[in-house]
Amino acid sequence: MAASLSTPFRIAVLAVALGAGGAALAQTAPSEPGRPTPAQLQKIFPEQKRLAISDHQARITILQNGERCLGAAGSSEALRACMKQEREAYQRQREQHRAEIKVLFERNGIPLPEWGRGDRRWKWGEGRPGNSGV
């Protein structure tokens, strides 16, 4: 779970790191092909931040619901059902957040970094053969 949650975080950190330079960013060399420009990252930052906060709030809600369910569980089966429910809720949230990031990037003409299951290294605009990405 931690690795899958880190992908949006990586994107946010990259945006913050590249967007922190302000006027100096306009003077930097063009970015690598397929990578977003510093100006693009700066442009999407407010919405990206809003999406990150919303994602955090949703994950907090999932944890709180899971805690209530676990506290009320009266058997091993109920405990397993709570954990399954929480796992499925995290998966739905992760998919929703990725879809929102995808829309944001597409709306601003930014290629998505492609990544797949088990592949923690990602590259902007380049996927593995046969991998549809997000």
Residue range 7-36, pLDDT digits in tens: 555 555 555 555 544 444 444 455 566 788
Structural domain contains residue 90:
yes
Compute the distance between CA of residue 74 and CA of residue 127 in angstroms, rounded to an integer.
Answer: 46
122 is a domain residue: no
Q: Token pair 């946010």 is at which residue?
A: 12
Q: Is residue 59 part of a domain?
A: yes
Is the Cα torsion angle 92, 97, 98, 104 positive or negative in sign?
A: positive
Q: Which residues partner with 114 through β-bridges?
A: 123
* Enclosing domain of residue 40: 2-28+36-115
CA distances (Å), 89 to each of 65, 93, 112, 118, in order? 10, 6, 24, 21
Tally of domains within the chain: 1
Please indicate, yes or no, if residue 133 is contained in any of the structural domains.
no
CA-to-CA dists, residue 127 to 63, 70, 105, angstroms: 33, 39, 16
In a domain? residue 120: no
Confidence (pTM): 0.61
In a domain, 130, yes or no: no
Domain-embedded: residue 95: yes
Give pLDDT tens digits for 50-89. Answer: 999 999 999 999 999 999 999 999 999 999 999 999 999 9
